[in-house]
Amino acid sequence: MKGAFLSDKVPGIIAIIAVALGAYWASNSAAEKAVSLPAPAYDAAVATTQETAVFAGGCFWGVQAVFQHTAGVLNAVSGYAGGARETANYERVTSGQTGHAEAVQVTYDPRQISYGKLLQIFFAVAHDPTQLNRQGPDHGTQYRSALFWRNAGQKEVAERYIAQIEAARAFPGKIVTQLAPLSTFYPAEDYHQDYATLHPRSAYIVAFDAPKIANLKQLMPEVYREKPALVAAQK
C-alpha cells in the first residue's frame, strides 16, 4: 500500500536500498504496461474556454503526474470524489468506507486537447481499467477506476469510447470503469500535490508511477511535454 511510502526520509544506505527495491518493482510491475488504443471515434465539441474533468484510476499520484505531463492540461489536482465533505481527507478515505475515490481534477484547454483524447490517455497509460477496486499494490474501493462526468456531453463521450475500445477488444479483460455524475471534488492535502515530481526517488514512484510517464512519452509523443504543469505553480 502506498501509505507505507509516504515517509521517504530514510538516510544513507536505507535510501539506496529503497531506490534499488523500487527499480526492481518497476521491472516487474504492471505499471510499466501500456496499451495502444485508437483515438475516440466520437468526441466533445471544441469549446473556447477552459474545461475540467475528473478521473480516478488508483493512487492519485500517478494519475496526476501523467496528466501534468500532457500538453494542453493547465492544472491537475489530486483529491477525492464520490463521498461527503466531512470524510474527504486521506485518513478517512484510506479506510475504504467513505465512498470516495482518489481522483484527479484536470483543467485543460479544449482548443489544444479534447476530452476524448484525455480519455485515451487515461485508459492507455494512466491505469488499468480492468482491475476492480485496485491498482497495482493498492486495494480498496478508494482505488477504483471511475470517470466522474460533469455534464451529459462528457458522459456520452465516455460511454461511446468505452464501447469503442471494448468492441476492439483492446484489453484482455472487461473494462470495469465506473461512470458517475460528479457531485463535488475535494482537493487532497498539500503533501499529496505534485508528489511524483517532488519525490522522484521514492520507491513507490519509481516502481509504479514513473513508468506511466515514460509510457506516455513513448506511446503518445504528440501530447507529451517534459515540463509538468505543477499545482505549486498555480498558487
Amino acid occupying residue 163:
A
**Which of helix, strand or coil describes residue 26?**
helix
Residue 58 CB-half CA count within 13 A: 28
CB distance 25 to 206 below 8 Å: yes
Amino acid occupying residue 194:
D
**pLDDT value of residue 32:** 60
Measure the CA–CA gap between 63 and 68, rounded to whole angstroms.
9
Q: Report the catalytic residues.
A: 59
**pLDDT value of residue 28:** 46
Lookup: cell for 154: 462528457
List per-residue pLDDT tens for the chain, 235 residues long. 565 555 443 333 334 444 444 444 444 444 568 999 999 999 998 888 999 999 999 999 999 999 999 999 999 999 999 999 999 999 999 999 999 999 999 999 999 999 999 999 999 999 999 999 999 999 999 999 999 999 999 999 999 999 999 999 999 999 999 999 999 999 999 999 999 999 999 999 999 999 999 999 999 999 999 999 999 888 7
* Domain annotation for the chain: domains and CATH numbers: 2-234 (3.30.1060.10)
**Which of helix, strand or coil describes residue 148?**
strand
Sequence-distant (≥ 6) Cβ neighbours of residue 158 within 8 angstroms? 119, 147, 149, 179
Cell 465539441: give the residue.
45
Measure the CA–CA gap between 32 and 27, rounded to whole angstroms.
8
CB distance 101 to 141 below 8 Å: yes
Written as one string, the DSSP assignment of 75-92 is EEEEEEESS-GGG-SHHH
55 Rama sector, left if φ>0, alpha if ψ -120 to 50, beta otherwise = beta
Nearest to 231 by CA among 61, 12, 23, 29: 61
**pLDDT value of residue 5:** 53
Measure the CA–CA gap between 206 and 20, rounded to whole angstroms.
9
Measure the CA–CA gap between 105 and 183, rounded to whole angstroms.
13
**pLDDT value of residue 60:** 98
- Bridge partners (DSSP) of residue 57 are 145
**pLDDT value of residue 19:** 45
Q: Residue 106: what are its φ and ψ, rounded to 5°? A: -105, 125
